[in-house]
Amino acid sequence: MGFVQVSTADGQKMQAFEVLATNKDAPGLVLIQEIFGVNASMRQLAQDWAERGFNVWCPDLFFRSEPGLELSPTNQSQLDLGLELMQEMDNELTLGDLESTRAQLAQKLGHENIVAVGYCMGGRLVVEFAQKSPIKAAVSYYGVNLENVLPPLGQAAPTMLHIAELDKWVQGDARGVIEAEAAKRTGWESHVYAGCDHAFARPKGMHFDADADRLAIERSMAFFTCHC
């Protein structure tokens, strides 16, 4: 457990939090952060996924602006900074950084059996990553802006979408668009969690829902078993 260095396509150096499974031949998993950086919640999630049998790398996607940034979702000024950094991101560069992470994780493991999981901002990025990268499968937790990302998206790896019923970031007709897009794609699934709000799977978060989190994990693990 600790940080490793990823060389990006444009010659930059990016840190990624690494937690390895006890079985080094286990699948790799690229874990994609929320807007709060690779903070304690993301590091906990990395450990959780490693305990489920994955070799995990969680890259610091804000490194071009604020390397090593750790923000709190309960601090309004830090929340605002996270939103600002997300809006300022170069999306293609970020997807390239994720691919560099995947490729170097695969090189370290000696196989290409790599999947990806993303939360919030990462829940949107992982869907785009599934279209750009040769990952085997993807899982998106309460991804933001998916109603705009999904309609033009081309062929992509099998993807599971976990959607919070009360998510303020998925309003109006957005959820219907997201579910319809998932339904028409081969190998895709979407699940809505009744009574749950955004970030229902964030460890120790204010909207954490243990039952929904457990169900989402069970579904995600079954999904990965089918595809990797």
List, as one string, the DSSP characters of the chain: -EEEEEE-TTS-EEEEEEE--SSTTSPEEEEE--TTBS-HHHHHHHHHHHHTT-EEEEE-TTTTTSTT-B--TT-HHHHHHHHHHHHH--HHHHHHHHHHHHHHHHHHHTS--EEEEEETHHHHHHHHHHHHS--S-EEEES-SSHHHHSTT--S---EEEEEETT-TTS-TTHHHHHHHHHHTSTT-EEEEETT--TTTTSTT-TT--HHHHHHHHHHHHHHHHHH-
Instruction: Verify whether residue 213 is a known catalytic residue.
Output: no
Distance CA 100, CA 98 (A): 5
CATH number at residue 87: 3.40.50.1820
- The residue behind tokens 């579904």 is 219
pLDDT class of 95 with cuts at 50, 70, 90: very high
171 pLDDT higher than 90 = no
12 pLDDT higher than 90 = yes
Query: How far is residue 200 from each of residues 118, 119, 146, measured CA to CA in Å?
Result: 13, 10, 18
- Predicted pLDDT at 27: 97
- Predicted pLDDT at 63: 96
Instruction: Verify whether residue 167 is a known catalytic residue.
Output: yes
- Predicted pLDDT at 172: 80
Split into its structural domains, the chain has a count of 1
What does the pLDDT look like over 193-211, one tens digit per residue? 999 999 999 998 999 999 9
Catalytic residue among 167, 197, 209, 213: 167
- Predicted pLDDT at 51: 97
Q: What is the dihedral of CA 26, 28, 32, 37, to 10 degrees?
A: 80
The pTM assigned to this predicted structure is 0.96
- Provide the CA 189 distance to its chain's centre, in angstroms: 16
Catalytic residue among 60, 97, 162, 198: 198
pLDDT class of 9 with cuts at 50, 70, 90: very high
pLDDT class of 98 with cuts at 50, 70, 90: very high
- Predicted pLDDT at 89: 93
What does the pLDDT look like over 104-128, one tens digit per residue? 999 999 999 999 999 999 999 999 9
Distance CA 148, CA 27 (A): 31
**Structural domain range at position 25:** 2-227
What does the pLDDT look like over 19-52, one tens digit per residue? 999 988 999 999 999 999 999 999 999 999 999 9
What does the pLDDT look like over 36-93, one tens digit per residue? 999 999 999 999 999 999 999 999 999 999 999 999 999 999 988 888 998 999 999 9
